[in-house]
Amino acid sequence: MQYKIGSRGSKLALVQTKYVCERLKEAYPEHSFEIVIVKTKGDKIQNRPLHQIGGKGLFVKEIEEKILKGELHMGVHSMKDMPAQPAEGLVFTKAWKREDPRDVLILREKKCLEGLPKGAVIGTGSKRRAYQLQRIRPDLKIVNIRGNVDTRLRKMEEQQMDGIVLAAAGLKRLGMEQRITQYLESAQMISAPAQGVLALEVREDQKELTAMLDRFSDEKTDQAARAERLFMEKMGGGCHMPVGAICKDIGNGNYHMDVMFGDEHGKKIIFACVEGSHPKKMAEDAEQKIRCQMAGVVTLVGAGPGDPGLLTLKGKKAIEEADCIIYDRLAASELLNYAKADCEMIYAGKENHHHTLKQEEINQLLVEKAMKYQHVVRLKGGDIYVFGRGGEEGLYLKEHGVPFQVVPGISSCVAGPAYAGIPVTHRGLASGFHVVTAHNRRGELAKIDFEAMARSKDTCIFLMGLSKVSEIAQHLMEEGMPPETKTAVISKATMPEQKVCSSDLGHIAEEVEKVKLPSPAIIVVGDVVGLRDSLNVITKEIHTQKKCIVPKIGKGTSCLTKLLKNKNIAVREVQVGEICFKEICLNRKKLRKVHWLIFTSRNGVQGFFKNLYQAGMDARNLSGIQIAVIGEKTGNFLKKYGVFADFVPKEFHEDGFIKEFSETVQKTDVVWYAGGTAGGEKLQETLEGICDFHKLIVYENCQVKESIGHMEEDVLFTCASSVERFIKSMDEKKAEYWKKEGRAYSIGPKTTKKLQEMGVENIVQASEAVYESLVKKYFE
């Protein structure tokens, strides 16, 4: 049979493939073997580092595709260039005896690393090599260099580099061992996993070819390569993260493995060593040692049952200190307002089998982020260990060597009934309570001991069981629980949208069906439900509480929201934008020519002063310039920079400002307006005709898309841009309904005009363009 062997076209790749081909020809003369050259994407792009163009798979994808299609029977690669796992349908055969795994220095003039002058230039395309070199010699200048061996040697001469780093194995296979200046031992540089090992890749159904290739395998090399590559896989290593491993036989079936791992930017590099006889166990032990030294802390935080006011103080502190928060659907979105402005936030919600991330992916993400950040928070609704799979996450973190801590949360199983006026225990009625989840992972009714629950006098609580109300009631009655037993179903417990349906066990299913309760819901069965009429004070408070939505710019809690919450209004914030500050050219000469400086927002103030400070100036350089602001709020914010406004209009909106300022400014005055990329058009159009007007773009209001969800509340708008973004974030059907049926509260004329342009019918405008006036109007 004729076998076609795929290879890249570089000199080294062909030398390696020819070596394999010759061995096969000698051993199997009855077959013929042909080398087919395949050009890969990695060969075509030589001017950028691997981590910028896609990583290791770039050298093998085209060959793998041809093997899968049957155009090639096998591929020959360098194992160090291979991803942790081959493409689906392909396998690696057992490793042949490896060549020298060390890295080496080729120096243009000097004889060793220590002899290089300060600031010497070394070329390498590998983060692993670069960061380890700079650990030994921080003064070295590392430059990116890619290409085959001859190309790199040529670039070293042309660019007058002091040296380059290459793999010893490649140079020896090319017969260029004499070019090596210095071998770098593992104490100096740990090489790439499986460096010096050939990767022979075939389709997994090619059993005969696999057996032919395994005839040449070397047991010690195969064990060592497996340990090294398993470590790389566990660390998620690739071209983005520097990872190294070298495993050596130490006799009696045992091995010693040195490993290293670093962060993406080389700020932290960790080393470890392990010994053992089983590759998988050695890789696990090495991973544990590295992560224990390198990982930040993951805090598993219970967010409480829904009401953001039920978050614990310790949970709030964890959120405030977090560098990254991974949160789920049942964690109140308002809690994210406690986070730092630069905190990375990742939604990992799960609802009715519609998962943003699977649990396994969440586990991996926690480990990944712990390697990047000092403090990661996993924010989960309720309590972290009550049907929250927090135990699974904790075990996974423990297994992977990541330290973690737990902040318990108030569970909905007790808080939900309490908010509905139902104590889960009460003297004379229930001395305890049973809590179970109502469904299994397949969405079916869980295996529940209904007999024990029916026999007991304790309160029975079922979580996540809204779709199973009928089945639960039927099973309890079949096991002897009286049909007249009092029962309640609490939807969206502790939230402003909380609804409660009460009945007896025999009729609860039909009553729930009538009112169409939304999930999530809690089912409570027992005599304590009868106390609801007397104890239902919290629900009454919730139902009389006004509710609204506030579109906001940025991650922090808006000033409007704080005012509303002080009035006991249930506020749901929706982020529609974030402020991105822009650089402008400021200098003293230009500034001395300015007569007026206009600010119409706190963002304009902040953006201008950022540029002022960056130019090496401060408020003293504004001496002689008169400052105009659009209203008191902007004026008060300006005071934080030690500057008081000279001009504040009587009416705090654009039209009022233009009218009054036009009567003040002179035609020869140089006027600067510090604003954003959008807005201020009317101001600019008017003032350009009556003075020497210049607009400085110091910020941009960048759009952020956030799911709005249900739309039962009024919406309070503080700017025109929020109007457009808020409406466009809804699907067309929901938007059209809201524009006709919803109610919008506007802070001023400009915002009102935008609402009218967007087709909103019910608009209420504040009497003054300030937050306090908007809140007052909302209460009327």
Q: Which residues are catalytic?
A: 328, 350, 464
Q: How far is CA 769 from the centre of its chain?
A: 37
Distance separating alpha carbons of residues 409 and 776, to the nearest angstrom = 36
Q: What are phi and psi of 405, to 5 degrees?
A: -135, 165
Q: Give me the phi and psi of 673, to 5 degrees please.
A: -115, 115
Among residues 287, 224, 259, the alpha carbon closest in space to that of 128 is found at 259
DSSP 3-state assignment of 357?
A: coil
> Tokens 């639960």 identify what position?
472
- Is the peptide bond prior to 520 cis by the omega test (within 30 degrees of 0)? yes
Backbone angles phi, psi at 426, to 5 degrees: -160, 130
Rounded to 10°, the helix 602-614/632-639 angle is: 30
d(CA 355, CA 325): 18
How distant, in Å, are the alpha carbons of 323, 348, 539, 563, 704 from that of 374? 7, 20, 41, 34, 26
Measured CA angle at 570 (ends 564, 575), to 5 deg: 80
Q: Is 518 exposed, middle or buried (0-12, 13-18, 19+ CB in 10 A)?
A: exposed
Closest residue by Cα to residue 558 from 550, 567, 549: 550
Asked if 322 and 342 touch (Cβ cutoff 8 Å), the reply is no
Q: Which of 771, 773, 725 is nearest to 559 (CA)?
A: 771
Give phi and psi for 602, each to the nearest 5.
-65, -30
| Residue 732: exposure state from Cβ atoms within 10 A (0-12, 13-18, ≥19) | exposed
Between β-strands 499-504 and 486-491, what pairing exists: parallel, antiparallel or unpaired? antiparallel
